Amino acid sequence: MNNKELERYKRHILLKEIGGSGQKLLKKSNVTVIGAGGLGSVVLFYLAAAGVGNIKIVDNDVVSLSNLQRQILYKDSDQGEKKVIAAKKNLLNLNPTINVDVFEDYFTNKNYYKYIENCDLLIDGTDNFKSKSLICKIAFNKNIPLVYGGLSQWEGQVCIFDPKSDSICFECIFPNDPGEEFDDSCFNFGIIGPTVGVIGSLMAAEVIKLLTSCGAPILNKILTFDCLNGEFQKFEVEKVKSCNICSKINKI
């Protein structure tokens, strides 16, 4: 690291759990963020600021006026721009020393392999059941740890699915597709902006912890935040022994 980097990351390096060696690990890390909406916005901002060196972003959406209430990566002037293009511009404005590769695409079972090459960690910033389920299947199939976040109105959850440990997966928590209510909660029922910030920040913290091997990941537990009542709770989640994803070799 050069002198500017030492100064930029000084407050990380001062943390004994991270230090200079942890900061170097962040610099050489490769992560893929799928979805650059609310959660993606927050995670990406913190990962770029933290000096995660190689960030891929996959999203095919366009910045709209109703995004700006919570998707803090974007500015009023970004409306009509592809999210990945605006995201890259705004992230490099924050930290020009990192690499940001963007893909104007949907993440599907046909193209995913292009976006997870050399990937140390997957980050789920999507907002629908089918994408979350697919990302989890790919994570287990390709043996890549996954940082999961979910949102609903005033509430959110965060946890880690880690195929390298004896970990639960998304389908252990949500075995059945709950249908449109899950997928359209943001669209139809609204969402409070700061909850997106809380959950996105917790996801970014888990990413930094995993990449630097510090602390204890939220593994086989789920951390929930109820903004309306100002409460955090952490639940143990049992692995479903017959789970198709984490207990068997799955086919995508």
Query: What residues line the site for Zn ion (CB under 5 A)?
Result: 169, 171-172, 243, 245-246
**Minimal distance, residue 65 CB to Zn ion, in Å:** 39
The first and second tokens of residue 73, run together, are 């990566």
Which residue lies nearer to Zn ion by CB, 4 or 241?
Answer: 241
**Minimal distance, residue 169 CB to Zn ion, in Å:** 3
Q: Which helix (H) or strand (E) holds 139?
A: helix 129-142
**Minimal distance, residue 249 CB to Zn ion, in Å:** 13
Which residue lies nearer to Zn ion by CB, 68 or 240?
Answer: 240
DSSP 205-245: HHHHHHHHT-S---BSEEEEEETTTTEEEEEE-PPPTT-TT
Listed residue (226, 246, 224, 243) closest to 235, CA to CA:
224
Neighbours of 119 (CB within 10 A): 19
Listed residue (44, 137, 151, 141) closest to 90, CA to CA:
44
Strand partners, 221: 236
Which residue lies nearer to Zn ion by CB, 100 or 168?
Answer: 168
Distance CA(227)–CA(195), nearest Å, equals 6
**Minimal distance, residue 240 CB to Zn ion, in Å:** 5
Which residue lies nearer to Zn ion by CB, 124 or 171?
Answer: 171
Q: Which residue is nearest to Zn ion (CB)?
A: 243
Which residue lies nearer to Zn ion by CB, 45 or 161?
Answer: 161
**Minimal distance, residue 59 CB to Zn ion, in Å:** 26
